[in-house]
Structure 1
């Protein structure tokens, strides 16, 4: 077989890891698409979230607030708070990858947990570049394809309350969040924030409790300093099985994906 450039590219360890992570993470899009439709958004609103926001955890938070009857402003606030970590990743990757021209804008859109983890898990600068773009582009394409599949499937379900799906978006977000907590302090903070949310629900409009919980978490973080290796893990750790070299740097601060 001729040694063409696609074949040579697939010989890259970072590309292979990035593509495998893309499939695993992209499949989450089915859940997001279906839950978004059952939460009250239409097909194009759902696709706009995946195309433009493109960050799994914040997307689930957005539709969770909407499903709970919260305002669009509250949903945006919740998504923004969870998406701030991508800005921190962006500063790290800007130093690591030095994107130029239009690639800076593309890289900003593709900076998520998994693309950051795939890139920083490599020691060779060229492999860092390949890993970032392979994971970022692969997840973006598959996440949006599977979002569309899920949205079409969700639209066929009808009234979400008939199936008990009106609370499914919140449950899905919690299902993604809980396994990613690493260390006793983040677990304790999550429990305190959950309690603050429950106590606030009867007294404030829908969507506001999650903002209150975020303030509580920020205050706890401000006054306490846990071990530096504690925090949140990415949705998919690309080096659990596929890579035996130096691990990526911790993705602290906080989808799907995404």
Structure 2
């Protein structure tokens, strides 16, 4: 059995300057969103110190917005923290992949783990080798961490100076930015993998058959992701009138196993139909030969 082909095999070498440019762009752009978190946190009744400590120690935007949003809506602290924790669990799976890819020394890993978020993972995993992956991860992490915390402070100070954020319409800043961070993730990621028709050179050991096989797999994964997102939203909205703030997001987690379970049942059903059709064809062929 031949060894697996690296995902970036066949690609030309990528200069360090390009990696630094991309990492700085991602870190600076997303880091500005900390201003919206500072405003939202202050509007939820949190102090300046609490807001800044959250960004310094938690440092994962979706979880921070979920936490202050639930607290601002009157949710229990434990329910708000549980919802934020569930949103942050994905970072642990990023860490499993990045730990192998980056190969950092044991003494550095606890510090690097604090920067394992969507953006740093995306930049690191997009690189063709370990050296550039480390560079992209580090530059993105430094830029984003500094920018996020500085703009969090500025947003909280601005909200305190303006008074009630709701009076200025700033109470919608947090949800708006949260949606802006999610929208780029809801796209057909298959477009990121160029096909042979686009002039791309197939990786060694992978021809048109491999590309054609990969397309339905990517399309199926995308459909499952969209189905999970839609079902999660519906579950959360259905529970909002009946459950305390912070609890609906916990119920929304059930969307993933529900969609995966239905997909598994459909897959087994399709496999059974294919086997039955193959058996009928085989029997018909044998009868004709007889």
> Normalising TM by the smaller chain, what interval?
0.7 to 0.9
Instruction: Give 1:144's aligned residue.
Output: 149
Per the TM alignment, residue 213 of structure 1 is displaced from its structure 2 partner at its CA by 1.1
**Structure ranking higher in helix proportion:** 2
What corresponds to 1:213 in structure 2?
Answer: 252
Matched residue, 1:20: 25
Any idea what the Cα deviations from partners look like across 1:214-239, whole Å, max 9, x if unmatched?
A: 123333234436xxxxxxxxxxxxxx
229, 234, 240: which one aligns with 1:195: 234
Give CA deviations for 1:108-133 in whole Å, capped at 9, x if unaligned. 00111111111111112211111111
8 Å contact kept, 2:94–2:121: yes
2:63 maps to 58
2:199 aligned residue: none
Q: Which secondary structure state, in structure 2, belongs to the residue aligned with residue 111 of structure 1?
A: coil
Matches within 5 A, 1:94-243: 94-166=99-171, 168-182=173-187, 183-224=222-263
Change in 2 beyond 3 A, CA 1:149/1:224:
same
Structure 2: stretches of 5+ with no match in the other structure: 1-14, 188-221, 265-290
* Paired residue total: 216
Greater C-alpha radius of gyration: 2
| 1:73 matched to 2:73 | no
Alpha-carbon distance, 1:154 to partner? 1.4
Following superposition, which runs of at least 4 residues in structure 1 exceed 3 angstroms of deviation?
Answer: 163-172, 182-185
**Unaligned segments of structure 1, at least 5 residues:** 1-9, 226-258
Q: CA separation in 1, counterparts of 2:70 and 2:31? A: 23
Give the conservation status (yes or no) of the 8 Å contact 2:16–2:132. no
RCO higher in structure (CA 8 A, sep ≥6): 1
Deviations, residues 68-116 of structure 1 (Å, cap 9, x unaligned): 2111111111111111111011011110111113311111001111111
> Contact between 1:78 and 1:210, CA under 8 Å: does it hold in 2?
yes
Residue among 49, 54, 63 paired with 1:44: 49
Higher mean alpha-carbon deviation, 209-218 vs 83-92, is at 209-218
How large is the Cα RMSD of the aligned pairs?
Answer: 2.1
* Deviation, structure 1 residue 185: 3.5
